Amino acid sequence: MVSTGPKDQMVCELIAAKSAEKKQWFSFEYYPPKTESGVENLKKRILRMKELGPLFTDFTWGAGGSTAEVTIELCDSVKNQMGCVANMHLTCTNMAPEKVDQALADCKKCGVCNLVALRGDAPRGSDKWEAVDGGFNCAEDLCAYITKHHGDWFSIAVAGYPEGHPDNIDTVEGEVDAALASLSEAEKKRCAISTDEAGKKVVTVCRDAKYKIEMEYLKKKCDAGAKLVITQMFLDAGVFIEFMKDCKAWGINVPIVPGIMCLNNPGGLKRMVPMCKTRAQHMMEAAEQANTSEEAFKQWAIEFGTDLCKKCLDAGACGLHFYTLNLEKVTLGMLKGLGMITVEQHDKCLGSEADAKTMVSAQGITS
């Protein structure tokens, strides 16, 4: 049950104001937990991290609205109780128009006006993505629908893929040297070299012809009403920098915000890189060497992430969007390393987390 609240500040306008002041900013993304205790613990974390001054607080949306109730409740809570600017994902997966209408009505009721319009992943158990009867085929359709029925009431963000969408990334045949030699200069800058299950080196890339289609489609999403682009995960700053240049060349003049994945553990990194087909050949060896303990890996992740963020900001990125994975240590470490929060803010937030964990442990409660 959502509450009634005034309309929120629009993220696109907040970013424009920061840009006019030449001030860089950051935001946090969280996913809805599966349990009530998990939701309460996340709210406490969000409240602590709110003190750091994020521009907005962002929540993901489960396929087909599987987390709809929790996502909207979290947006409502952080906006109307905590005073954060809320940003809500909305996907096309298994979403008939009436489901989208209900989600948008709930947003309007509680005053949430910031959305991320996405196609979404295929539902669990499905091999490929398919639209429901009468539903939306892609994020462009969703943007156009929202704009048609609600004008400019919503500030809409869409996803950008600096390396190309995983569906459009192909394996290049041949041994590594021959495969690389067959690539264009642009392809070489965004290709990934990984090792398959048989121990063979494999080159994957979004070829120029498909990358052109990707950029044309991103332009269509913006023309359909999107006011900013938030990128998917990347681990090479050069890839993002080239993507910013490509967006400008294609007449995509909305803010291009780098999505920064917080590398909280080596297992997560090993899963995400092949799943997202991410260029990571320049850093996997260092990640392996840092995997001597949880603390050592996180310290390396902070240093690596800080350098990645700095290069993006130095190249002209307006801000940073952190995929926190509902954790805070690595995110806080990067912000401290960048000078975007003070040492005192960092230590206070981590201290509050440590105190909370001690209390939970003493009471025999798990989350």
Query: What whole-number percentage of the chain has pLDDT above 70?
Result: 91
The residue among 7, 6, 11, 39 whose CA lies nearest residue 27 is 11
Residues 57-66 have pLDDT tens digits of 999 987 666 6
Strand-strand pairing, 201-205 and 170-172: antiparallel
> Count of CB atoms within 10 A of residue 292's CB?
10
Strand-strand pairing, 57-59 and 25-30: parallel
Beta strands in 52-119 (DSSP E): 57-59, 86-91, 114-118
Residues 184-238 have pLDDT tens digits of 999 999 999 998 888 889 999 999 999 999 999 999 999 999 999 999 999 999 9
- Catalytic residue, candidates 13, 21, 29, 163: 29
Fold designation for 11-166+207-277+284-362 = TIM Barrel (3.20.20)
Separation CA 117–CA 155 (nearest Å): 10
Separation CA 43–CA 196 (nearest Å): 40
Instruction: List 257's β-bridge partners, or say none.
Output: 230
Segments making up each domain of the chain, as ranges: 11-166+207-277+284-362
Separation CA 159–CA 119 (nearest Å): 9
Residue 343 identity = V
How confident is the model at residue 360, as a pLDDT? Answer: 38
How confident is the model at residue 362, as a pLDDT? Answer: 35
Token reading at 342: 């003070």
**What average pLDDT does the chain have?**
91
Asked if 108 and 2 touch (Cβ cutoff 8 Å), the reply is no
153: confidence class by pLDDT, cuts 50, 70, 90: very high
- Map tokens 């070299």 to a residue: 193
214 part of the active site:
no
> Count of CB atoms within 10 A of residue 311's CB?
16
Token reading at 111: 């005053």
Tell whether the torsion through CA atoms of 32, 35, 36 and 38 is positive or negative: negative
Whether the per-residue pLDDT at 357 is higher than 80: the answer is no
What mean pLDDT comes out for the span 252-272? 95
